[in-house]
Amino acid sequence: MKIASRMSVVDSSGIRKVFDLAKNMKNPINLSIGQPDFDIPDPLKETAYEAIRAGHNRYTLTQGIPELREKVRQRLKEIKSFTAEEVMITSGVSGGIFLSFMALLDPGDEIIVPDPYFVMYKHLSRLLGAVPKYLDLDDQFQIDTDRLKSMITPKTKAILLNSPSNPTGVITKREVLREIAKIAGEHGLLIISDEIYDGFYYDTEYVSIGEFYPNTIILGGFSKEYAMTGWRVGYAAGPAEVLREMIKLQQYTFVCAPSFAQYAAVDALDFDTSIYRKNYTQKRDIIYNGLKDSFDVVKPDGAFYIFPKAPGGSGTAFSTKAIEKNVLIIPGNVFSEKDTHIRIAFTATDEELQKGVEILTKLAQQY
């Protein structure tokens, strides 16, 4: 059977390859997956049960239930100073990324993607025939705005942002965002801002690009802050012209986000998650303080990842050695055009993190 040629530009996720390796491991210390180690809060489960019992099990409106869309709109205005012309509910942030790329990118269009990047950005843009232009970040994983400016061409369609970042855990600084907004405005570019980790910020101010630039699509969701990874509820908010096309596409792809989960998401926006942020601040400190003397590493500001340089220079080689020692981590070339780092997710118990740190530092000391 002849497979569509577009599939040749998409590689199987390196993360999935690590998961396949894990099947043969006995009780591994899993520092590879970006999934919270806590469960969905019980009150939100109860809301979901009630929605199911009340019969909210059918298709919803393609763009999502009105009460959730309106609540997201108000939340963005209050928390991020962003006034969205339109809001839609997506099947996770992944669905929002797919729909926004489909609505915006023609073959040959360029999209500027900071490197390191979330793995989906590269493969989805290439799948559509668009060209991801990789913007190398500085040694603190911040965007060099002069470098950004130099990369813009007549083919540039959009700038992609992800703050807090997967895989680095870094939050883009306010002054950098302000300059990015200025550059985008001068060139009439759309910004797509993936803000799924906005609930995880530690001792650094979290700011959204939406505060400075209205021509932004903000993508957010409930998978991380509320541990709803399997419930697939996200949102997209921004210019009505683009959102209308994304809603049209959703009719023929995802149809709608899961109905019962949308009702739970309404209540989630009123649920206090500060205890999870406090717990993850502690986990961040365990992993950073444990690694900093043996690795060249930037302290994460948010999310739940840390992205150290790989001892010996090869992320693949070091990750392989770590896996041989029963610690699952991801080589940096899954998230970058370079293979110089490793990604560690601190979504594990404190005890597992401490054991993982001990094994990884011993490995590092061999170099």
Return the HEC string of 107-147.
Answer: CCCEEEEEECCCHHHHHHHHHCCCEEEEEECCCCCCCCHHH
pLDDT surpassing 90 at residue 8 = no
- Categorize the per-residue pLDDT at 108 as very low, low, confident or very high, splitting at 50, 70 and 90: very high
d(CA 57, CA 277): 32
Asked if the model's pLDDT at residue 15 lies above 80, the reply is: no
Q: Tell me the pLDDT band of 18, cut-offs 50, 70 and 90.
A: low
Inter-residue contact 311 to 342 (CB < 8 Å): no
Least confident range from 32-36, 145-149, 286-290: namely 32-36
The CA-atom distances, in angstroms, between 292 and each of 283, 317, 339, 360 are 14, 20, 20, 11
Compute the average pLDDT of residues 270-283: 97
The ranges of the chain annotated as CATH 3.40.640.10 are 58-268
Mean pLDDT of the chain: 95
What percent of the chain is modeled with pLDDT above 90?
91
Place of tokens 């991020």: 80
Per-residue confidence at 166, pLDDT binned at 50, 70, 90? very high
Average pLDDT over residues 245-255: 97
Instruction: Answer whether residue 48 shows pLDDT above 60.
Output: yes
Length of the chain: 367
State in words which class domain 5-40+273-364 has: alpha beta
**Is the link from the previous residue into 132 a cis peptide, with omega within 30 of 0?**
no
| pTM summary value | 0.94
Give the distance from CA 345 to its chain's centroid. 13
pLDDT of amino acid 9: 80
Euclidean distance between CA atoms 291 and 299, whole angstroms:
10
Ranges 4-18, 160-174, 189-203: which has the least confidence: 4-18
Q: Is the pLDDT of residue 13 over 60?
A: no
The confidence band for 221, taking pLDDT boundaries of 50, 70 and 90, is very high
In sequence order, the β-bridge partners of residue 342 are 331
Whether residue 309 contacts residue 296, with contact meaning beta carbons closer than 8 Å, is answered with: yes
Pairing verdict, β 327-328 and 305-306: unpaired
Q: What is the pLDDT of residues 345-362, one digit of tens each?
A: 999 999 999 999 999 999
Quick one: pLDDT band at residue 16, thresholds 50, 70, 90?
low
| Nearby residues of 334 by Cβ (< 8 Å), 6 or more positions away | 13, 14, 15, 119, 343
Cα 75 to Cα 335: distance, rounded to the nearest angstrom: 31
pLDDT tens-digit series, residues 279-316: 999 999 999 999 999 999 999 999 999 999 999 999 99
Q: Count CB-CB contacts under 10 A for residue 203.
A: 10
Tokens of 241: 């012209």
Interval 168-207: pLDDT, tens: 999 999 999 999 999 999 999 999 999 999 999 999 889 9
Q: Check if CATH label 3.40.630.30 holds for domain 58-268.
A: no
The residues of the chain that CATH labels 3.90.1150.10 are 5-40+273-364
Q: In what order do the strands lie in the sheet with 330-331?
A: 305-306, 342-345, 330-331
